[in-house]
A and B are shown apart, each in its own frame.
Chain A
Amino acid sequence: MAGQPIRKPTRLEPWQDAGQTPYVRIEKVTKTFGDFVAVDEVSLSIYRNEFFALLGGSGSGKTTLLRMLAGFEQPTEGKIYIDGVDMAGIPPYERPVNMMFQSYALFPHMTVEQNVAFGLKQDGVAKAEIRDRVTEMLGMVQLSAFGKRRPHQLSGGQRQRVALARSLVKRPKLLLLDEPLGALDKKLRERTQFELVNIQEKLGVTFIVVTHDQEEAMTMSSRIAVMNHGVIAQVGTPTEIYEYPHNRFVAEFIGSINMFDGRVVSTEGDQVLVASEEAGCELLIAHATPAPAGSPVSVAIRPEKIALSKEPLPDGDGRNRTTGIVREIAYLGDVSIYLVQLPTGKTVRVTAPNITRRTEMPITWEDEVTLTWRPFAGVVLTQ
């Protein structure tokens, strides 16, 4: 489900370094439209050269936040600093920021070249330099042969690249991208994800991307802020967000997950033991935040972290192990999804790679199977 991060493991993590000053600082920003609170006291720090994703469903406030950074909306309360400068009252045309629009917003009466040159013209750049920089930009997005065309003569993917070239030609320190890949088909989207990351690394621009596509956010970004109803549910690297969700919303929004409600039995060090009627067994979770005994919690376990077995397993302590009947199998080629019904009625989702060919697959419908997982698989959610 989750794409592999395509960044090198040796990437910078400026948010870990206390000495770094953030390039963009959002301080307790609230935006209301009438009675509707679109963004609710959001605070964020985004560092130079980050590829930062604002991830959320529609109405989560992610686009409003982006539009406030661009200057199209003014915060009702709170402050936005870009490169240390308070952005209050600074109009879009005076901000050191460029934006790539979801609709691309290409000027229909101008050619591709004129579209890309527009921003430079506003700054009064010399004609010869404009020509050079436009040529360079179109070369970078592989549209050199299309300079004289009008936007309506281009395909969706080409338009997307013109919009990108136009927003990068002024060499902004910060580029805002509103659903940059939303209008592309799946294959093109995957290819463009890599292109975007390459361009971002090559030019050393800070990218803030708004997206509703978690896979897109996981693949491209250095950090993700998951937004829900105008508040930030969690900020972290793709791995942190996926493996250590802070709350139910994040756990359920990113990928699929199994939730078992239960009560804490005991806490030993960072190991928490939870009794769950729903799961039909005791759950032992390693590396969990301690919780008082008796408090209600949810234990979240990713489908790929559960193993299925048809053969009886040697008896253990009965923890992290339950049985059920396979009700549904979805064959996706590389993996299969199994929906296993526990005696308690709870359905558990399990994904397993198809290591052997499907025709030889040992587990089939209505088989009784044992589900097991390791203490590191689960996450305890108190909210």
Chain B
Amino acid sequence: MRTVVSVLVSGLSRIGLWGRGVVVAIPYLWLLLFFMVPFLIVFGISFSESIIAQPPYSSLVEWLTDEDAGTSKLQILLNISNYFRLGGDDLYILAYLNSLRIAAVTTLMCLAIGYPMAYAIAKADPARRGPLMMLVILPFWTSFLIRIYAWIGILKGNGVISNLLEWAGITSGPVEILYSDWAVYIGMTYCYLPFMVLPLYSTLEKMDPSLLEAAADLGSRPFKSFLSITLPLSLPGIIAGSLLVFIPAVGEFVTPELLGGPDTLMIGRVLWNEFFANRDWPVASAVAIALLLVLVVPIMIFQHVQGKQAEAGR
């Protein structure tokens, strides 16, 4: 009887382990299929040559049979010139730098607006925090494209802002903000703000208010307490929010395309042009892989900092 029970128990626990494995395996399988495999395909294409054919790139692997010599060869041709082109052409380097700059400015603007917002929400009456956070997320309920189109109407010459400035007598004649870097900053800051506010709010809300009381009790004025207590303790939230804004902002395509000027050169637009205008898939793939490398570095830093934080918080 006893052995039957123990077998049953161990069997059940094995199913339990297996069940846990399945739960973990399904999302990983999904990622493998729809992220890792496409990534490897793109990675492969980046080493091929552009040809006029369908698909428009050469195959990396070829099976060569020499009838005369009676030999067969497996030939793998890796064309690394695509990557050299990225380094050699100012266009690409400029586009990368521009993307990093625009993403950095967007991140800083999101931080400058998002931090006070998150702080105020975290300090608000507990009953009000829910609705306030809901308002932050509310824009997600309408289409992203519609919201960007709305900005066109706001930013264009004779648009809402232009007319308002004119009506107030600050400017005479229409002011054209649209199709400039500033329009891109405004649009992207608007889009990514919730991604900054959410992680900041969650770290600020968790903070023990008695820490600030202790600081005040020890003679620290409120602003100094903010600098020496609140700010360092909210660093994980700042890093998480910044990465959530920075990483997608680097590769952003739609907002700069709709709001930016012809000289707003971002890597997303270059990528688009290479794929659809030039039909140069190998170069486009190389651009994408290089972009990924640019983004992996900040992610690694983030992981490292988070790991340390988790260790410290134990």
| A and B form one complex | yes
Chain A interface residues toward B at CB < 8 A: 70-72, 91-94, 97-99, 101, 103, 105-109, 118-119, 122-123, 150, 152, 166-167, 170
What is the CA–CA distance of A167 and B217 in the complex, to the nearest angstrom? Answer: 9
Contact, CB under 8 Å: A101 / B229: no
Contacts of A119 in B (CB 8 A): 218-219
What is the CA–CA distance of A94 and B217 in the complex, to the nearest angstrom? Answer: 8
What is the CA–CA distance of A71 and B213 in the complex, to the nearest angstrom? Answer: 9
Contacts of B228 in A (CB 8 A): 118
Contact, CB under 8 Å: A152 / B312: yes
Instruction: Across the interface, name the chain A residue whose C-beta is closest to B215.
Output: A118
Contact, CB under 8 Å: B213 / A105: yes
What is the CA–CA distance of A150 and B214 in the complex, to the nearest angstrom? Answer: 17
Contacts of B233 in A (CB 8 A): 108-109
- CB of B73 within 8 A of chain A? no
CB proximity of B136 to chain A, nearest CB, Å:
27
What is the CA–CA distance of A123 and B213 in the complex, to the nearest angstrom? Answer: 17
Within 8 A of A (CB), among B197-223: 208, 210-211, 213-221
Contacts of B147 in A (CB 8 A): none
Contacts of A150 in B (CB 8 A): 312
Contact, CB under 8 Å: A105 / B219: no
Instruction: Across the interface, name the chain B residue whose C-beta is closest to A97.
Output: B217
Contacts of A92 in B (CB 8 A): 213, 216-217
Contact, CB under 8 Å: A91 / B314: no
Main SS at interface, chain B: helix
What is the CA–CA distance of A93 and B214 in the complex, to the nearest angstrom? Answer: 9
CB proximity of B90 to chain A, nearest CB, Å:
44
What is the CA–CA distance of A57 and B217 in the complex, to the nearest angstrom? Answer: 25
Contacts of A97 in B (CB 8 A): 217
Tally of B interface residues using CB under 8 Å: 20
What is the CA–CA distance of A91 and B217 in the complex, to the nearest angstrom? Answer: 9
Contacts of A103 in B (CB 8 A): 208, 210
Known contacts A101-B210, A107-B229, A109-B232; A122/B217 CB under 8 A: no
Contacts of A105 in B (CB 8 A): 208, 210-211, 213-214
Within 8 A of A (CB), among B208-265: 208, 210-211, 213-221, 224, 228-229, 232-233
B28-48, CB under 8 A of A: which get 1 and which 0? 000000000000000000000
Instruction: Across the interface, name the chain B residue whose C-beta is closest to A102.
Output: B210
Q: List 16 A-B contacts (CB under 8 A).
A: A72-B216, A91-B216, A92-B216, A93-B216, A93-B218, A101-B213, A103-B210, A105-B210, A105-B214, A108-B312, A109-B232, A109-B233, A118-B218, A152-B312, A166-B218, A170-B219
Known contacts A109-B233, A152-B312; A101/B214 CB under 8 A: yes
What is the CA–CA distance of A43 and B210 in the complex, to the nearest angstrom? Answer: 27
8 A-B pairs with least C-beta separation: A119-B218, A122-B219, A105-B214, A105-B210, A92-B216, A93-B216, A99-B217, A122-B220
Contact, CB under 8 Å: A93 / B217: yes
CB proximity of B148 to chain A, nearest CB, Å:
40
CB proximity of A160 to chain B, nearest CB, Å:
14
- CB of B70 within 8 A of chain A? no
Contacts of B224 in A (CB 8 A): 122
Contact, CB under 8 Å: A72 / B232: no
Contact, CB under 8 Å: B216 / A152: no
Contacts of A101 in B (CB 8 A): 210, 213-214
Which of A70, A105, A150, A167 has most chain B Cβ within 10 Å? A105
- CB of B169 within 8 A of chain A? no
CB proximity of A195 to chain B, nearest CB, Å:
21
Contacts of B55 in A (CB 8 A): none
What is the CA–CA distance of A122 and B312 in the complex, to the nearest angstrom? Answer: 25
Partner of B211, one of A72, A94, A107, A166: A107
Contacts of A99 in B (CB 8 A): 213-214, 217
What is the CA–CA distance of A280 and B99 in the complex, to the nearest angstrom? Answer: 94
CB proximity of A324 to chain B, nearest CB, Å:
51
What is the CA–CA distance of A106 and B217 in the complex, to the nearest angstrom? Answer: 12
Contacts of B216 in A (CB 8 A): 71-72, 91-93
